[in-house]
A and B are shown apart, each in its own frame.
Chain A
Amino acid sequence: MIRVILALLLLAVPVHSETIVLGLSQDSVSITASFDGSDILIFGAVSRDAPEPLEKGKLGVIIAVSGPDQSVLVYRKARRMGIWVNTSEVAVDSAPSFYAVATSGPLQDVLSDTEDLRNRITIPRAIRSVGADVSDSDVFTQALIRIRAKDSLFQMNSGAVDLEQDTLFRTSFRLPANLIEGDYLARIFLTRGGTVIDSHSTVIPVQKVGLERWLYNLAHLQPFLYGLLSLIIAVAAGWAASVGAAALKR
């Protein structure tokens, strides 16, 4: 009984004895015509109102950046009549279009399984797949992770967060060129002994700008005009080519 009361008392005191103060190298990412990926620097400090409670275990910092969620169809090929054809598919209800995790140390040291499950931090936890009617749907989810990891869309960077004197931390993420637009969410978890003691999140909007924005909007909002525009460009180019060729011959 006394233990329960003690535990309740412990819970009652402000949990945030250690909190995160955060900074970003940029508030948003603009996809311009020359966009070739982008680096985002995430840095911050741990603010304390009491001495460091070392007895509760080691301090850890985990930073996860995720792109907009999408539903994804995963197809598997098999040989049919001599050729390789998509034969089975599994719909993954929700998978981030981009997902990168960086930690200050080996994952098993800085994050417990229960906390991972609760906060959906690691890559497999960030993917939600229910109601798959293929018996080996896990293989499809693994294939999704494998393919996205190959395109640098899923990154697991163990030990990539520099943590200095248990106070200052920093890491950088490489956003690849094949990004999709949307609000990217950066989540920062402060852990001690594998338990999350504070978390903080911030949104990094990723958007096409300038000509890219204009063309994309035109193509989706005024597809007829956009189609006409592309034809006019094509005809004009064809005409210019014949005029140019005639000029060259003279």
Chain B
Amino acid sequence: MQLYLPIAEVSVNIFLILGLGGLVGVLSGMFGVGGGFLITPLLFFVGIPPAVAVATSTNQIVASSFSALLAHLKRRTVDLRMGTVLLIGGLAGSTLGLVIFNHLRSLGQVDLLVSLFYVVFLGIIGALMLVESLNALLKARKPGGARKTRKHHYWVHNLPLKIKFRVSGLYISVIPPLIVGVLVGILSAIMGVGGGFIMVPAMIYLLGMPTKVVIGTSLFQIIFVTAYTTMLHATTNYTVDIMLALLLIVGGVIGAQVGTRIGMKLKAESLRILLALLVLLVCGKLGLDLLLQPSELYSLKAAGAL
């Protein structure tokens, strides 16, 4: 069954898009990630114009993060003060990201920008995750391995403008969380992602936040930043496709329930290895597209469309 998308101006198969949303939903349920980093490239592969794919997936992330945030709010695992600091940085970063995005779009280089960002970030994160979870597996077999101390705490503790974050049990400068927020905001606007895959490790290893509040706090920040990014894309580029978003959301909601159930049956380390391999796979596919000679060297951009 075909559906004509009013903004993307392409006709897509409903079940294909529902399936995509569902697949990403399963993964996000299994691994506890937003899945934006998978949905955007998958939308490219099925022929959605890149600008529409990026803008629409930010809208989809609002939906998938909102239900997760509700659960975390109930469990009181959200550091609202830290979330607000990250959010202030995020809004600034998102605005900056959109300026870069629109500038490169006018130069015809936006596809390259998005692909490069994906290859670099997915490559780094995937490799780090793989190494770390393999190490964790090895340590689990050989008990007694001491955990490395986190060096970053020292310089983070010496910066000015300190604030007390009670829920996280931290007394640190606002500068590092602001910078993390800005970086994540830029990624959100350019890659159409929530940025959880960058923010969560940064919160644990850079800010030293306790693991139990990390996910809820990052969700809090992600919802507002992606909502803001959606509004920016909707008002400057008119590239948010509600119909596409709705299909992805419906698929994602169902998929997430399935994924959560699968996730509960698998071990945490093996889950992380699987996720790392998946991230590297997407990275590899996008990287090959940049490296190998494309079969069609030419591409078109009609006025008023991308």
Chain A interface residues (CB < 8 Å from chain B): 31-37, 70-79, 82-86, 89, 97, 140, 143-144, 146-148, 177-178, 180, 208, 211-213, 215-216, 219-220, 223-224, 226-231, 233-235, 237-242, 244-245, 248
A241 CA to B227 CA, complexed, in Å: 18
Of B63-71, B86-94, B160-168, B183-191, the one with at least 4 CB within 8 A of chain A: B63-71
Chain B interface residues (CB < 8 Å from chain A): 1-4, 6-7, 9-11, 59-60, 62-68, 70-71, 108-109, 111-112, 116, 227, 230-231, 233-235, 238, 240, 242-243, 245-246, 249-250, 253, 256-257, 290-294, 296-305
Contacting residue for B298 out of A32, A143, A208, CB 8 A: A143
Check B257 against A245 for contact (C-beta < 8 Å). yes
Q: Which residue of A lies closest to B298 (CB)?
A: A143
The 5 closest A-B pairs by CB, nearest first: A238-B66, A227-B234, A177-B11, A143-B298, A234-B63
Contacts of A244 in B (CB 8 A): 253
Q: Which residue of B lies closest to A238 (CB)?
A: B66
Check B298 against A140 for contact (C-beta < 8 Å). yes
Contacts of B62 in A (CB 8 A): 231, 234-235, 238
- The smallest beta-carbon distance between B231 and chain A, in angstroms, is 4
Contacting residue for B297 out of A77, A211, A229, CB 8 A: A77
Check B249 against A234 for contact (C-beta < 8 Å). yes
Q: Which residue of B lies closest to A35 (CB)?
A: B4
- The smallest beta-carbon distance between A212 and chain B, in angstroms, is 4
Q: Which residue of B lies closest to A85 (CB)?
A: B112
Check B299 against A212 for contact (C-beta < 8 Å). no
A211 CA to B300 CA, complexed, in Å: 29
Check A227 against B300 for contact (C-beta < 8 Å). no
Check B303 against A242 for contact (C-beta < 8 Å). no
Check B108 against A242 for contact (C-beta < 8 Å). no
Contacting residue for B231 out of A146, A216, A219, A224, CB 8 A: A224
Additional 20 contacts, C-beta under 8 A, given A234-B66, A235-B63, A242-B70 = A31-B4, A36-B11, A73-B108, A77-B297, A79-B293, A85-B109, A146-B298, A147-B298, A177-B2, A177-B10, A180-B305, A215-B242, A230-B234, A230-B240, A234-B59, A237-B250, A241-B63, A241-B67, A242-B71, A244-B253
Contacts of A178 in B (CB 8 A): 9-11
Contacts of B71 in A (CB 8 A): 242
A76 CA to B299 CA, complexed, in Å: 7
Contacting residue for A237 out of B63, B112, B304, CB 8 A: B63
Check B299 against A72 for contact (C-beta < 8 Å). no
Check B245 against A230 for contact (C-beta < 8 Å). yes
Contacting residue for A233 out of B7, B112, B238, B245, CB 8 A: B245
Check A239 against B291 for contact (C-beta < 8 Å). no
- The smallest beta-carbon distance between B2 and chain A, in angstroms, is 4
- The smallest beta-carbon distance between A61 and chain B, in angstroms, is 31
Q: Which residue of A lies closest to B227 (CB)?
A: A231
Check A235 against B66 for contact (C-beta < 8 Å). yes
Q: Which residue of A lies closest to B231 (CB)?
A: A227
A241 CA to B69 CA, complexed, in Å: 12
Contacts of A233 in B (CB 8 A): 63, 242, 245-246, 249
Contacts of B296 in A (CB 8 A): 143, 146-147
What are 14 residue pairs bridging A and B, where the CB atoms are less than 8 Å apart in the complex? A33-B4, A70-B305, A75-B300, A83-B291, A86-B111, A144-B300, A147-B300, A212-B6, A215-B6, A228-B231, A229-B242, A230-B242, A241-B67, A245-B257
- The smallest beta-carbon distance between B87 and chain A, in angstroms, is 16
Check B67 against A242 for contact (C-beta < 8 Å). yes
- The smallest beta-carbon distance between B123 and chain A, in angstroms, is 13
- The smallest beta-carbon distance between A246 and chain B, in angstroms, is 9
Contacts of B3 in A (CB 8 A): 33-34
Check A76 against B6 for contact (C-beta < 8 Å). no
Contacts of B293 in A (CB 8 A): 79, 84
